[in-house]
Amino acid sequence: MSDILGTYGISASGMKAQADRLRHLSENIANADTPGYRRKTVPFHDLADGRVETGPVRLDRRELPQIYDPGHPMADDTGNYQGSNVDLIVEITDAREAQRSYEANLKVFDQSRQMAQGLLDLLKR
């Protein structure tokens, strides 16, 4: 029974980590057109008991693109301003991956719950 309970913790930590990842991916997508915005990434760390947790948020240090638009309020003397380093294709792909991983962890959680319920039903007999 303790193995089944341990599975709850493992799958719940995976769901929490993917939910955190999805939150930051959503922020990146929402700020894709914000001048000077740097993409946020979230690393995962494995724990000794099979669980996973998120680490501190990191900012993508790639150089920000220079966008030429002399009419933009943030443009400098040359008519350029710094854009965002968010690539929408990458963010949407990562969001889909995180969503599917969340769903897989949810499925494991549900299967563990059904197994525990089946075991309890057998013990009642």
Tokens 């599975």 -> residue = 7
Tokens 């769903």 -> residue = 103
Tokens, residue 50: 């099979």
What type of residue is 46?
A: D
Three-state secondary structure readout of 61-109? CCCCCEEECCCCCCCCCCCEEECCCCCHHHHHHHHHHHHHHHHHHHHHH
In this prediction, residue 32 carries a pLDDT of: 96
Q: Which residues contact 106 (CB under 8 A, 6 or more apart)?
A: 11, 15
Positive or negative, the Cα torsion across 7, 10, 13, 15? negative
Instruction: Give the three-state DSSP class for 13.
Output: helix
Tokens, residue 116: 């525990």
In this prediction, residue 2 carries a pLDDT of: 67
Alpha-carbon separation of residue 14 from 5, 8, 96, 106, 118 (angstroms): 15, 10, 15, 9, 24
Per-residue pLDDT of the chain (125 residues), as tens digits, is 567 778 899 999 999 999 999 999 999 999 999 999 999 999 999 998 899 999 999 999 999 999 999 999 999 999 999 999 999 999 999 999 999 999 999 999 999 899 888 888 898 88
